[in-house]
Amino acid sequence: MQRRTLFAAGLALAFASLTAQAAETTLRAVSSFGMDTFWGERFQKFVDKVNAEGKGVLQIRVIGGPEAVPPFEVGNALRTGVVDLANHTGVFHANLVPEALAMVVTDRTMDELRENGGYELLDQIHRDKANMVWLGRVTDGLPYHSYTNKPLVDNGFKGFRMRAVPMTRGFYQALGASPMQIAPGEVYTALDRSMVDGYSWPIVGVFDLGWQEKTAYRVDPGVYNVEVSLFMNQNSWKKLTDEQRTYLESQIAWMEGENAKDAEINVQERQAQAEAGIETITLEGEVAENYVNTANNALWADIEKASPANAAKLKPLFMK
């Protein structure tokens, strides 16, 4: 009788173990940014926390960075379910969801967007157009800047050749500059050989690529709001249990809470750039206001051209 009781207890423990294993889900994830960059390291910190606290519930397995899935292909990899989760930016899948650029041009925090319905609307647009869920932001409050290797001419960029991405092409054209699309890995050489006079880049990341060696000036104020987010395949999201979704949402809330540190990072990066010899060109008054407005108007024009109905709904929610 005692042997039978022990046997039954053993079966119960084994069944409980199997049930726990079956309940745990592992998400395949990719990063559009190298894991040794600022954005990759912040993502890895999130992954480590999820895995440490989510045993038996939810785990994330990072299969790689850009070497695993090229950044501009991550959107399709998410849409089709090749990967479940991505540390990614809407800038790279604007071909699928042009409205995603609203995340860059917004001057509202994620807390504000969650409260006023902006987050819910853009998340639904992602679900409808690209079968992906916008989970939350990895950064919030880091601006883009123009960096140059020569002084501005009368506080302007007329005649400058600026390395740009589709997001900043209209901005530089409006400033009288010639935008040139150059892969990040080729920018250093382009600067060294005077093929370009400058580039647009966030306040962070210049040192990751060694560009400080070929950069003389940073233009203030910054424009836009660097957007790096976590996106998930919608089918994978629906397959999660209520417990798993609640757990993941709690971790997203923690991650967005970490974004409060971005203000301090702004200060640190400015100091590091100054120590590296990068001088600050500060635009002031009406010149600065026109500079920022030109950036915002150019990007909203792109969104409105691609999706006028959704742009009209998004703009009052994403702009103060």
pLDDT in tens, 128-157: 999 999 999 999 999 999 999 999 999 999
Q: Are residues 116 and 256 in the same domain?
A: yes
Whether residue 19 is predicted with pLDDT greater than 70 in this model: the reply is no
Phi, psi of 282, rounded to the nearest 5 degrees? -105, 115
Q: Is 5 a domain residue?
A: no
Q: Is 9 a domain residue?
A: no
Which pLDDT band, with edges at 50, 70 and 90, does 309 fall under?
A: very high
Q: Are residues 60 and 126 in the same domain?
A: yes
Q: Is 66 a domain residue?
A: yes
Which pLDDT band, with edges at 50, 70 and 90, does 110 fall under?
A: very high
Q: Is 214 a domain residue?
A: yes
Q: Is 171 a domain residue?
A: yes
pLDDT in tens, 238-279: 999 999 999 999 999 999 999 998 989 999 999 999 999 999
Q: Is 39 a domain residue?
A: yes
Q: Per the structure block, which two tokens stand in for 76?
A: 């399709």
Confidence (pLDDT) at 114: 97
Domain assignment of residue 287, given as a range: 144-224+269-318
Confidence (pLDDT) at 2: 45
**Which long-range CB contacts under 8 A does 106-115 form with residues at least 24 apart?**
106/225, 106/318, 106/319, 107/225, 107/318, 107/319, 107/320, 108/317, 108/318, 108/319, 108/320, 109/140, 109/141, 110/136, 110/137, 110/140, 110/256, 110/259, 111/256, 113/317, 113/318
Q: Are residues 128 and 148 in the same domain?
A: no
Q: Are residues 149 and 243 in the same domain?
A: no
Q: Which residue has the higher pLDDT, 248 or 12?
A: 248
pLDDT in tens, 48-72: 999 999 999 999 999 999 999 999 9
Confidence (pLDDT) at 20: 43
Q: Are residues 305 and 250 in the same domain?
A: no
Q: Is 60 a domain residue?
A: yes
pLDDT in tens, 30-47: 999 989 889 999 999 999
Q: Per the structure block, which two tokens stand in for 260?
A: 């409060």
From CA 2, how far away is CA 158, in angstroms rounded? Answer: 90
Contact yes or no for 49/57 (Cβ under 8 A): no
Q: Are residues 81 and 94 in the same domain?
A: yes
Q: Are residues 302 and 198 in the same domain?
A: yes
From CA 120, how far away is CA 313, in angstroms rounded? Answer: 12
The 10 Å Cβ neighbour count of residue 52 is 9
Q: Is 184 a domain residue?
A: yes
Please state the domain count of the chain. 2
Q: Are residues 184 and 98 in the same domain?
A: no
Q: Are residues 117 and 186 in the same domain?
A: no
Q: Are residues 156 and 99 in the same domain?
A: no
Q: Are residues 92 and 180 in the same domain?
A: no
List strand residue ranges (DSSP E) for 203-303, in order: 217-223, 229-233, 279-282
Q: Are residues 45 and 116 in the same domain?
A: yes
| CATH number of 300's domain | 3.40.190.170
